[in-house]
Chain A
Amino acid sequence: MRISGGVGRRAVLAGAGALAAAVGFPGIVRAQSKSLKVGVYGGYFKDSFDKHVFPEFTKATGIAVESVAEPTGEAWLVQLEQAARARQAPADVSMMSQVAILKGMAADLWAPFDLAKLPNAAKVKPHLINKYPDGRVAGVGAVSWYITLVTNTKAYPQAPASWAALWDPANKDKLGLLALVSNSFLLEVTAATFFGGTKHLDTEQGQLDCFKKLAELKSNVKLWYRDEAQFEAALKSGEIPMGQYYHDVTGLAAADGHPVRSTFPKEGGITDSGSWAVTKASKAGDLAHVFVDYMCQPSIQALLSRKVGTAPTIDRAATDLTDKEFASVSSDLAPIIPRYDLYQSKSDWLNQKWTEMIVG
């Protein structure tokens, strides 16, 4: 679901180019016997992986990585699905958002992992292992990240303590929030802040309660953004001084001297994550297992935290991250975990209600 907005177009073009190369010249790609195509979100993510992670992997295993820039949203899922129908794999392994993993599972798109070949995956937190209803493993947690409450430090000398700040009438026309129900996770935030937890979303009545409560903050919102770059620029300049944003990128911006801060509210930050998944059209299943197992190692999870800014998908104690390093990518507060199940079982209904709520 995420991408560094400013380079989105370029990433898409790069992805399209890689796709054309993969489809057009399968012989050449296959000719390198130990080569694996790995899809990661284009832009900031891919750059960091190319620079710090993939070369280490090649050094350790002798498997060359050809990285593919994934476009934003679920466009990549649609492309993988279409390509799989033609028995093509634009990438062997892809980092997919949780909603995309679930949708791919519904179409039986993912080749199952053999956990016996992934000894390091045993350390991955259980909720980050995606399983088909019959128990086959479709995805393994790759990286986690947090969406938190962010503020411009000049406009807000005092950091807000709770997500309830989004509803404060004093913040009229000051917020930037993500524009989609399935990537803003604001229903979960509402349930956690006002209705005692995301369990409240179990029933349709509970979901309607949250929509009703959410409608109350509409007048505070200046920007419902799909493009991350747009909000990031406005947050730095103070044009839109408060909102929800990615903890890692906000930290990097603050380190660069911009007057921004990311706060884990007392209800917790929203945790979201990407999982590795292998399309069933891939013929490099064995190499993919080597890759995913490598990525689950504590030392690599720590490397990702330091270089890419993501939170580990394994227990923090297993890594050698210092308190300071861990705090820069995560928090010990219990997070708000998105109700991914809803975005599969009721996606169209939620999307319709959401659009009517913000547009109406």
Chain B
Amino acid sequence: MIRRAPRSLAEHAPILFPALMLIVFFVIPFSLMIAVSVARRVPGGFYEPDFVFANYERFLTAFFGGVLAFSLELAGLVAVLAVGVAFPFTYRLARLPRAAQVRWLVFLLSILSLSEVIIGFAWSTLLSRTAGITNLFVALGLMAEAQSLTPSFGALLAGMVYQAFPYTVLVLYPALARLDPSLVEAARTLGSSPVRAFFTVVVPALRSTIVATLIMAFVFALGSYLLPQLLGRPQHWTLSVLITDQAIYQSNMPFAAAMAVFLVLVSLALVALALLAGRRKEEA
């Protein structure tokens, strides 16, 4: 290990690869998007290079503000629910025998291979009137007649949490697997119940992991554009859906790019706020 600061080019080399990746996969695409977002829209045609803010002006209305607020709330809710379900699940999972853990993880990984389209169609069938789960309730005598549960906010939320869940577990798993069991044992010896030990020892010990996972799930949910169309009503369409409409169906790239830039900036700001809040607490 080199302890002193790197001096020669060779010593700097290891950082070149991540820097290059960051430039190729983030800096260049995002710069292109910013460049397009200030281009001039040719109505009924395409766009021409220019430096105008008309696309941003169009976005700054109560209508798009409402859609943006809904998208952020939805992503936040999905993140909280996914982590809320996944954290206790992963805590239990990490304490299972090795073989059982592997089986669960393989199962979760296989869910990741499902595309958003398949997940959307599966949930809309599961929640439909004609072939859905309510038919089972009717057969069991719990309901008088089958009804349709989709499209609705609940259906959308279920689909998105389902989609985020495996990612959340896989991010939480390493931290929970490494958690020193003696911490909980100490709490139990001192007389706290398992539930109390979980909330007063395990959760605070992993606070930064939980915050990181929340942020990941939030950003992940923010980009969802198919599930809101398949499982939600128009009032549940996220900003990503409207961006897709503009880019693919209206060939209005400048406006789509302006909305995307706005979305990226807002989510970066929110992530920064969350990290800042986390750090303050740690210092306190």
Interface residues of A (CB under 8 A from B): 9, 72-75, 77-78, 81, 102-103, 106-107, 179-180, 182-183, 222-224, 226-227, 230, 234, 237-239, 343-348, 351-352, 355-356, 358-360
Most buried by A among B41, B58, B230, B250: B250
Expressed in whole angstroms, the Cα–Cα distance for A238 and B251 within the complex equals: 34
Interface residues of B (CB under 8 A from A): 41-46, 58, 63, 67, 117, 121, 124, 128-131, 148, 151, 229-230, 234-235, 237, 242, 245, 248-253, 255
Q: Given A102-B44, A106-B44, A224 and B130 touching (CB < 8 A)?
A: no
- Which residues of chain B come closer than 8 Å to A356, judged between CB atoms? 63
Expressed in whole angstroms, the Cα–Cα distance for A119 and B42 within the complex equals: 35
Expressed in whole angstroms, the Cα–Cα distance for A314 and B25 within the complex equals: 51
B249–A73 CB distance below 8 A:
yes
Expressed in whole angstroms, the Cα–Cα distance for A358 and B151 within the complex equals: 15
A344–B44 CB distance below 8 A:
yes
B148–A239 CB distance below 8 A:
yes
Expressed in whole angstroms, the Cα–Cα distance for A345 and B46 within the complex equals: 13
B41–A348 CB distance below 8 A:
yes
Give chain B nearest CB distance to A232 CB in angstroms.
12
B249–A345 CB distance below 8 A:
no
Q: Given A74-B249, A237-B128, A347-B250, A107 and B151 touching (CB < 8 A)?
A: no
Q: A103-B44, A237-B131 are in contact. List 10 more A-B contacts (CB 8 A).
A: A74-B251, A107-B45, A179-B229, A222-B151, A234-B128, A344-B43, A348-B250, A355-B242, A360-B63, A360-B235
- Which residues of chain A come closer than 8 Å to B121, judged between CB atoms? 230
Expressed in whole angstroms, the Cα–Cα distance for A188 and B2 within the complex equals: 73
Expressed in whole angstroms, the Cα–Cα distance for A355 and B243 within the complex equals: 12
Give chain B nearest CB distance to A36 CB in angstroms.
26
B235–A359 CB distance below 8 A:
yes
B242–A106 CB distance below 8 A:
no
B67–A103 CB distance below 8 A:
no
Expressed in whole angstroms, the Cα–Cα distance for A97 and B161 within the complex equals: 38
B151–A223 CB distance below 8 A:
yes
Q: CB within 8 A of A351: which of B42, B117, B250, B253?
A: B250
Expressed in whole angstroms, the Cα–Cα distance for A344 and B230 within the complex equals: 29
A180–B45 CB distance below 8 A:
no
B230–A230 CB distance below 8 A:
yes
Give chain B nearest CB distance to A257 CB in angstroms.
17
- Which residues of chain B come closer than 8 Å to A359, judged between CB atoms? 63, 67, 234-235, 237
- Which residues of chain A come closer than 8 Å to B43, judged between CB atoms? 344-348
**12 chain-A/chain-B pairs, Cβ below 8 angstroms:** A78-B46, A102-B44, A103-B46, A183-B249, A224-B234, A230-B124, A238-B130, A348-B43, A348-B252, A351-B250, A355-B63, A359-B235
Give chain B nearest CB distance to A118 CB in angstroms.
26
- Which residues of chain B come closer than 8 Å to A73, judged between CB atoms? 248-249
- Which residues of chain B come closer than 8 Å to A75, judged between CB atoms? 248
A347–B235 CB distance below 8 A:
no
A347–B128 CB distance below 8 A:
no
- Which residues of chain A come closer than 8 Å to B129, judged between CB atoms? 239
A74–B130 CB distance below 8 A:
no
Q: CB within 8 A of A78: which of B63, B229, B237, B251?
A: B251
- Which residues of chain B come closer than 8 Å to A180, judged between CB atoms? 245, 249
Give chain B nearest CB distance to A348 CB in angstroms.
6
- Which residues of chain A come closer than 8 Å to B151, judged between CB atoms? 222-223
- Which residues of chain B come closer than 8 Å to A74, judged between CB atoms? 248-251
Most buried by A among B44, B46, B121, B129: B44
- Which residues of chain A come closer than 8 Å to B117, judged between CB atoms? 9
Expressed in whole angstroms, the Cα–Cα distance for A345 and B43 within the complex equals: 7
Give chain B nearest CB distance to A207 CB in angstroms.
16
Expressed in whole angstroms, the Cα–Cα distance for A345 and B124 within the complex equals: 38
- Which residues of chain B come closer than 8 Å to A239, judged between CB atoms? 128-130, 148
- Which residues of chain A come closer than 8 Å to B251, judged between CB atoms? 74, 77-78, 103
Give chain B nearest CB distance to A4 CB in angstroms.
14
CB-nearest residue of chain A relative to B244?
A226
- Which residues of chain B come closer than 8 Å to A348, judged between CB atoms? 41, 43, 250, 252, 255
A106–B229 CB distance below 8 A:
no
Q: CB within 8 A of B46: which of A107, A179, A183, A223?
A: A107
- Which residues of chain B come closer than 8 Å to A234, judged between CB atoms? 128
CB-nearest residue of chain B relative to A240?
B148
Most buried by B among A239, A345, A347, A356: A239
Give chain B nearest CB distance to A148 CB in angstroms.
22
